[in-house]
Amino acid sequence: MVAEAPWRAIARRKQAERQSKIPSAWLLQTPPSPSTLDVRAVPRTSGILNSSELSITEDHDATSLADAIRSRTFTAEAIITAFCKRAAIAQQVCNCLTEIFFDQAIERAKFLDKEYERTGKTLGPLHGVPVSLKDSFDVSGYDSSIGIASLTGKPATKNALLVDILLEQGAVVYCKTNIPQTLMALDSDNNVFGRVLNPRNKLATAGGSSGGEGALVAMRGSVLGVGTDVGGSIRIPAMCGGLYGIKPSAQRIPYVGQQNGTRKGASKIGLPASAGPIAVSLRDCELFLNTVSNAKPWERDPSVAYGLWSEQGSIQRKPLLGVIREDGVITPLPPISKVLDETVQGLRKSGLEVVEIDAPAFKKCQSLANKFFGIDGGNHMFDLLEATQEPLTAWLSTRLRRGKPISLDRLVEIHAQKVELETEMLKIWKDPKTGRQIDAFICPVAPHPVPPIDRWNGVSYTSSFVLLDYPAGTLPIRDFKEEDLKGELSDSKPLGSWDKINRELWDERTIDRKVYLDTRLSVQVAAPKLQERRLYQAMSLIESTLRTGLVGRPKL
Let me know: does 27 contact 89? Beta carbons within 8 Å: no
Q: Is 492 annotated as a binding residue?
A: no
373 CB-near residues (< 8 Å, 6+ apart): 184, 231, 270, 271
Q: Is 232 annotated as a binding residue?
A: yes
Let me know: does 115 contact 77? Beta carbons within 8 Å: no
Residue 87 CA to residue 220 CA, distance in Å, equals 8
DSSP 241: H
CA distance readout (Å), 218 to 39, 57, 197, 509: 10, 11, 11, 31
Question: Residue-wise over 156-187: b if at least 16 C-beta within 10 A, else e?
Answer: beebbbbbbbbbebbbbbbbbbbbbbbbbbbb
* Residue 434: alpha-carbon gap to chain centroid: 36
Let me know: does 277 contact 151? Beta carbons within 8 Å: no
Hey, is 538 helix, strand or coil?
helix
Q: Is 93 annotated as a binding residue?
A: no
Catalytic residues: 134, 209, 233
Other CB atoms within a 10 A radius of the CB of residue 389 amount to 14
Is it true that the peptide bond before 35 is cis, omega within 30 degrees of 0?
no
Handedness of CA 193, 131, 88, 207 (dihedral sign): negative
Other CB atoms within a 10 A radius of the CB of residue 155 amount to 14
Residues in the chain: 556
Let me know: does 254 contact 301? Beta carbons within 8 Å: yes
Residue 257 CA to residue 264 CA, distance in Å, equals 10
Please write down the HEC assignment for all residues of 439-505.
Answer: CEEEECCCCCCCCECCCCCCCHHHHHHHHCCCCEEEEEEEECCHHHHCCCCCCCCCCCHHHHHHHHC
β 472-479/440-443 pair status: unpaired
β 189-190/194-195 pair status: antiparallel
Q: Is 314 annotated as a binding residue?
A: no
Q: Is 403 annotated as a binding residue?
A: no
CA distance readout (Å), 207 to 36, 112, 133: 20, 35, 16
Let me know: does 483 contact 514? Beta carbons within 8 Å: no
Let me know: does 220 contact 468? Beta carbons within 8 Å: no
Residue 479: beta bridge partners?
520
Q: Is 231 annotated as a binding residue?
A: yes
Residues of the binding site: 183, 209, 230-233
Residues of the binding site for substrate: 183, 209, 230-233
